[in-house]
Amino acid sequence: MASVAFLGLGVMGYPMAGHLKNKGGHDVTVYNRTKPKAEQWVGQHGGSLAATPAQAAEGKDFVFSCVGNDDDLRSVTAGPEGAFKSMKKGSVFIDNTTASAEVARELAAAAEAGGFSFLDAPVSGGQAGAENGVLTVMVGGEQDAFDRAKPVIDAFARMVGLMGSAGAGQLTKMINQITIAGLVQGLAEGIHFGKKAGLDIEKVIEVISKGAAGSWQMENRHKTMNAGKYDFGFAVDWMRKDLGICLAEADRNGARLPVTALVDQFYKDVQAMGGKRWDTSSLLARLEK
């Protein structure tokens, strides 16, 4: 059993922290910017809560975070009451936020100067994956820190891989989001085309999902897309945040992402339709408006 802190109890962090406590059997202290959510978590799972990230991290072997963006991450780590103020020597900070590779490298350097380790470890699998403890975790950092942290991360993951040095986890997550953007747009266009052609979409998907066109998105989202229901996954607002990170990194490294840039603008259209909190499969709604 390890001594663990978890910072950020949103739709992903809340169940992830729960798996660390219940499946992993770890001693977990939680921090959330909105205190009632932390109180709710403790009431449901046990453990304890802290008033600041620094208090949560004090004396812990492993500290996890899952917050909104680069600025939120800097606040809970290097801010005035951030976890880096109290991390003990030899401990490991594991960040599950989807953020930039730049901030990951920045915080890894700060952690090294403080005598502890930092792993950027964004996740994929959505809210359902977090709730079921079957997330994919893409990690950047040093091998020794990864080897120590992996058995703890395993409590909420089915796949954990070290992708390279600091920032590599975030870069891998960018590839994940770039790929998903194109897949969802293709699926949306296919369903839209099929409807216009008068085909039975369920019959179509039953056949083509067993061939080269098959994907996780097709298997898990085609029914709700066909029904015009878009409240089953990752929100459009968050996808645009992630695609913005991808496009900014592409500007730095010279990669060309024409489809990603186009789909990002399609999601902007969905936002303008009132779909900020719809899931990413709502690209179909844009085609059908």
Q: Average pLDDT for residues 32-60, to the nearest whole number? A: 97
For residue 210, indicate whether it is catalytic. no
Give the pLDDT of residue 249: 98
Check pLDDT > 90 for residue 232: no
Task: Give residue-wise pLDDT tens across range 136-182.
Answer: 999 999 999 999 999 999 999 999 999 999 999 999 999 999 999 99
213 by DSSP, 3-state: which?
coil
C-alpha angle 160-148-115 in degrees, rounded to nearest 5: 120
Q: Average pLDDT for residues 9-19, to the nearest whole number? A: 97
Cross-strand partners of 31: 7
Q: With bands split at pLDDT 50, 70 and 90, how would you rate the model's confidence at 68?
A: very high
Give the pLDDT of residue 273: 98
Structure tokens, 183: 């897949």
Strand 92-95 to 62-65 pairing: parallel
Q: CA torsion sign, 153 to 123 to 277 to 202?
A: negative
Task: Give residue-wise pLDDT tens across range 88-147.
Answer: 999 999 999 999 999 999 999 999 999 999 999 999 999 999 999 999 999 999 999 999
Q: Is the CB of residue 270 less than 8 Å from the CB of residue 285?
A: yes
218 by DSSP, 3-state: which?
helix
Give the pLDDT of residue 141: 98
Identify the residue whose tokens are 């603008």.
265
Structure tokens, 215: 């994907």
At 24, the amino acid letter reads G
> pLDDT averaged over the chain?
97
Identify the residue whose tokens are 């390890």.
2
DSSP state of 211: T
Q: With bands split at pLDDT 50, 70 and 90, how would you rate the model's confidence at 239?
A: very high
Give the pLDDT of residue 262: 98
Question: For residues 20 and 181, what is the distance between their CA atoms, to the nearest angstrom?
Answer: 31
Taking only Cα atoms into account, the Rg of the chain, rounded to an integer number of angstroms, comes to 20
Structure tokens, 144: 């020794």
Burial profile 167-181: b = 16 or more Cβ within 10 angstroms, e = fewer: bbbbbbbbebbbebb
Check pLDDT > 90 for residue 233: no
Query: Exposed, middle or buried: residue 266 (CB in 10 Å: 0-12, 13-18, 19+)?
Result: middle
Pick the catalytic residue: 21, 60, 150, 173? 173
Identify the residue whose tokens are 């994929």.
124
At 41, the amino acid letter reads W
Helix axes 101-114, 168-196, angle to 10 degrees: 150
Give the pLDDT of residue 283: 98
Query: Exposed, middle or buried: residue 269 (CB in 10 Å: 0-12, 13-18, 19+)?
Result: middle
Q: Average pLDDT for residues 23-27, to the nearest whole number? A: 97
At 69, the amino acid letter reads N
Give the pLDDT of residue 112: 98
Q: With bands split at pLDDT 50, 70 and 90, how would you rate the model's confidence at 1?
A: confident
